[in-house]
Structure 1
Amino acid sequence: MPHNSRRLLPTRSKAASSPTRRLRESNPDSPLAQIRGPTGEHSGGMHPTIVKAQKAQDFLALVPQLLGFAPETSAVLVAFRGNRTCGALRFNLPDDGASLKVYKRIATTLAGMLCKIPGVDAVVPVIYTDDSFITAVGIPREQFAEILNRRLEWSGFLLRDSLCVAADAWGSYLDPKCPAGGHPLNDIAESPVNTAANEGAGTKTVRPLGTLQNGADPVGVHPATQERLARIYRRYRHLLARAENSPPLFDALGVALDPVAIAEEALTWPNPPIEENVAALLVLVQSPPNRDQIMVQFAFGRDEGVRAHAINGRYARLQHETGRSLDDLVAEEIDIGDPTAEHTGDIMLGLQCERPDIDRIRVAITLLRLVVAMAPRSARPAPLCMLAWLSWALGSGSVAGFFVDQALAIESQYSMAILLKLLLDSGHLPEWAFAVPQHDDDDNDDADEKSESYELDDDFDQNWGEDFDERAAGR
């Protein structure tokens, strides 16, 4: 990105009318926002629970529910399309001592990312910091917040509010009457929406949310389980080595270790899975073609897995016939415009707008975290890289970075980990992260009832005046 602060700011395709800064006028009797609570997987015609947020602190209680974790040292942009939220972008908060030039560059990047989401017309930025109201002159991180607010407004977004959650209090950057010591954090912790957001799942218990780091923390597994898995894994590896010189054994193993079938079955395994199944999956993903095929199949479904498996088979035959490397063959086909090679590459780099199946990815992430925990250390880089890519596919670049770091700590020259690190450090997010979900294309009431997002009441503007993640924005 150019370091010229005078660069043209990103703008939305349809500019909002008069996006002026407005002061918040509190009215505790009027709801400010709504969250559509969880209804369980594939709820069909069930209507999600509507949770009303009466005050700013209620909205702040909803933000972690939208992200899926409790943000720390972050700038979160809660984006609105009309009355509904359509996403939440989390970025690393820049250092407090950074220069104005750095602040402006980062704020411009954040506004530009928001511009990529179709139809967004309003935003509520929320700064999460470990700084204190007591030691700050004004609200913590006010200088960066003001620059960010200006960049967002200049880009055509309506700034509904701008909030800060600090170590000891919370407040609004747009509220001239905000107390010097801020408002108590208990306002957020004791908000009724903390329980209301879970009623759709049949419980009033507050859903505990971890931090961003928790998403990549190791899973606890009993050592005896690891030992059993290691024995089975070594047996499979030995069989595969023998099969290379035994066509009948190779054919038998090809049926038993069908990567398309195992990838699909793996999403239905019990939790925890049995060691034999984990060993089969772990052996398969040690092969880069199988690893990538299973990973893509987890995200996009069986048909995509079948396509990738067929491509892998064709490349294997070409390698055998020509003696050339896989990298050379793929590069040649991309150069001549082969659509098959381009399609697979586009998926891996997130260059297509078709959205993956989020439910499948979440199941796969849960499974792969267990696989990593059960696996011998030397076999972990492959599933760790799969976890990194799947996390990135969900927009969680920082979580992906944690997985990549773990893989490189085991094998510093593991090629996929190196490539993923380059991808993450570039700040690139998949194009599907900015695509409009199919149900959002319709503005009718039926589509509205089936969505799961925050909503604003019609009087929101009179009262106030979910996990993408950009790993590189805080640099």
Structure 2
Amino acid sequence: MTKQITVRAVGGHEFLALLPQLAGTSLRRSLVCVAFRGSTVIGVLRHDLPRRMADHPVLVAAMVGAVCRIEQAEGVIVTVYTDREYPRSAAAAERRLIERASARLEDAGFEVRDGFIVASTGWGSVIDPTVPVRGRELELIDAAAAELPVLAELAEEPPPPSSDRARAARLRRRLVALREHGSIEWLQRELGGQIDPIELVERVLHEPAATAAQGAWFAELSASAVFRDAIVLQIAFGTSVGEIALQGVAGFSPTGDDAADASLRDASGGSEEFVTELYLGRTRLRPETKRVEAGIEFVERLLVDLPRSYRPGVHCVAGWLHWALGRGSRAGSHLDRALEIDPDHAMARLLDTYLGSGALPEWAFVREDERRELLGGR
């Protein structure tokens, strides 16, 4: 979150009523850290709760590291959202997580102003000795939320696109034909110049609806780790980065001749390290939001028509793209679906572990003026 908002909430229930609007999303199974300068909110960080307590130290380290990079942050409030009952015991996982996070934040020089737990049966502050055993009533938060002005649209997960039987049948026929007759000649006849992964990605980003052949070839490429990584990076950063990611792949040669693209390829040296840093978000070069949104729209429309066994790779693409825009919950949802279909899917497992650790991309902390500077004033 980049908008600065002065908070004048006088009670914990009022702060918690405001928090989903500050975060820009509904909050479930989350660790949320709000950073303040005085009474002004200058940053909101949200992480998915890990499934195991053993992963809490990694999560807290990631969160504290992120808070340390928020300029001029002085104080913080930590909140845990859980779908379990309000914890009565001091040894409960939610209380221990807040204690661990608070200790690490204080060690880093921040004033921890409060810690809240919002559970399925109640809520409370961990520093308030008057909280009932079962927590305070959730209706207090709901009532305060109803009186708040709307600061922003909540990023609720939209309903998935509806499937179409005829469209799904055409896609299924192309997938079967691709597996049976997937020679270069067949692909060229079906796709023309779009057999090239770079051309295919650009076409599906800029056309309202893909053909069955395009969807089938995209799904097939997404099943390959090398092509899948190149696809998400091309969607996020453009064709030149896609070409860099594909260098060394048999049968592929860069086709771009734009001077800026050539400069980027030269600067990267086509190195595997460069691609890895981009993929893990260890760069301050922010993805192009419109391209990422277009990519999400395409892959989520494709997923509803794909046969189940073909979906894990495409779910990985969707998960990474959501993560690139800071939508950790939606990213996690796609990875969960991939692992439900194929529990041994290597990339889904790796992404689930990495994103579940609370990893945030470097570009999440880039100010608008710095972003323009990185892009040469554009």
Mapped pair 1:393 → 2:324? yes
Q: Which amino acid aligns with 1:438?
A: E
Residue from 170, 179, 182 that aligns with 2:123: 170
- Hey, what's the Cα distance between the residues in 1 that align with 2:84 and 2:362? 35
TM-score by length of 1: 0.59
Q: Which amino acid aligns with 1:225?
A: R
Q: Which amino acid aligns with 2:240?
A: V
- Hey, what's the Cα distance between the residues in 2 that align with 1:139 and 1:54? 29
Mapped pair 1:437 → 2:367? yes
Query: Equivalent residue for 1:87?
Result: 44
- Hey, what's the Cα distance between the residues in 2 that align with 1:414 and 1:93? 19
Query: Equivalent residue for 1:266?
Result: 204
Asked if the contact 1:392/1:429 (under 8 Å) is kept, the reply is no
Q: How does 1:54-65 map to 2 (within 5 A)?
A: 54-55=9-10, 56-65=12-21
- Hey, what's the Cα distance between the residues in 2 that align with 1:87 and 1:150? 19
Provide, for residues 151-185 of structure 1, a one-character-per-residue CA deviation record: whole Å limited to 9, x for no partner.
32222112233222233333333345556664432
Q: Gaps spanning 5+ residues in structure 1: where?
A: 1-33, 38-49, 202-206, 320-336, 443-475
The CA deviation at 1:380 is 1.8
Provide, for residues 420-457 of structure 1, a one-character-per-residue CA deviation record: whole Å limited to 9, x for no partner.
356457x3725415633334899xxxxxxxxxxxxxxx
Q: Which moved more, 1:282-291 or 1:367-376?
A: 282-291
- Secondary structure of 2:271's match? helix
CA 424–35 in structure 1, closer or farther in 2 if over 3 Å, else same: closer
Query: Equivalent residue for 1:76?
Result: 32
Residue from 218, 238, 252 that aligns with 1:281: 218
Asked if the contact 2:14/2:141 (under 8 Å) is kept, the reply is yes
Query: Equivalent residue for 1:376?
Result: 307
Mapped pair 1:351 → 2:282? yes
CA 380–36 in structure 1, closer or farther in 2 if over 3 Å, else same: same
Residue from 112, 129, 146 that aligns with 2:64: 112
CA 107–375 in structure 1, closer or farther in 2 if over 3 Å, else same: closer
Q: Which amino acid aligns with 2:303?
A: V
- Secondary structure of 1:79's match? strand
Q: Which amino acid aligns with 2:47?
A: R
Mapped pair 1:308 → 2:308? no
- Hey, what's the Cα distance between the residues in 2 that align with 1:383 and 1:370? 11
Q: How does 1:49-448 map to 2 (within 5 A)?
A: 54-55=9-10, 56-80=12-36, 83-92=40-49, 105=57, 109=61, 112-119=64-71, 120-132=73-85, 136=88, 141-142=94-95, 144-176=97-129, 178=131, 182-192=135-145, 196-197=149-150, 209=156, 220-235=162-177, 240-241=182-183, 243=185, 250=188, 253-270=191-208, 275=212, 277-286=214-223, 288-300=225-237, 302=238, 305-309=239-243, 312=246, 315-317=249-251, 338=269, 340-395=271-326, 399-411=330-342, 414-417=345-348, 419-420=350-351, 423-424=354-355, 427=357, 429-432=359-362, 435-439=365-369
- Secondary structure of 1:189's match? helix
- Secondary structure of 1:150's match? helix
CA 420–342 in structure 1, closer or farther in 2 if over 3 Å, else same: same
Asked if the contact 2:37/2:75 (under 8 Å) is kept, the reply is yes
The CA deviation at 1:126 is 0.8
Q: Which moved more, 1:411-420 or 1:147-156?
A: 411-420
- Hey, what's the Cα distance between the residues in 1 that align with 2:123 and 2:282? 39
CA 388–81 in structure 1, closer or farther in 2 if over 3 Å, else same: farther
Bigger radius of gyration among the two: 1
- Secondary structure of 1:191's match? helix
- Hey, what's the Cα distance between the residues in 2 that align with 1:252 and 1:431? 38
Q: Which amino acid aligns with 1:75?
A: L
CA 53–243 in structure 1, closer or farther in 2 if over 3 Å, else same: farther
The CA deviation at 1:121 is 2.8
CA 197–357 in structure 1, closer or farther in 2 if over 3 Å, else same: farther
The CA deviation at 1:127 is 2.0
Provide, for residues 225-278 of structure 1, a one-character-per-residue CA deviation record: whole Å limited to 9, x for no partner.
32122124445666642517xxxx7499451444334423433444x7664653
Asked if the contact 2:167/2:305 (under 8 Å) is kept, the reply is yes
- Hey, what's the Cα distance between the residues in 2 that align with 1:401 and 1:176? 35
Asked if the contact 1:51/1:196 (under 8 Å) is kept, the reply is no
The CA deviation at 1:90 is 1.9
Query: Equivalent residue for 1:322?
Result: none
TM-score by length of 2: 0.72
Provide, for residues 391-429 of structure 1, a one-character-per-residue CA deviation record: whole Å limited to 9, x for no partner.
44345566545534543554566553454356457x372
CA 181–402 in structure 1, closer or farther in 2 if over 3 Å, else same: closer
CA 193–59 in structure 1, closer or farther in 2 if over 3 Å, else same: farther
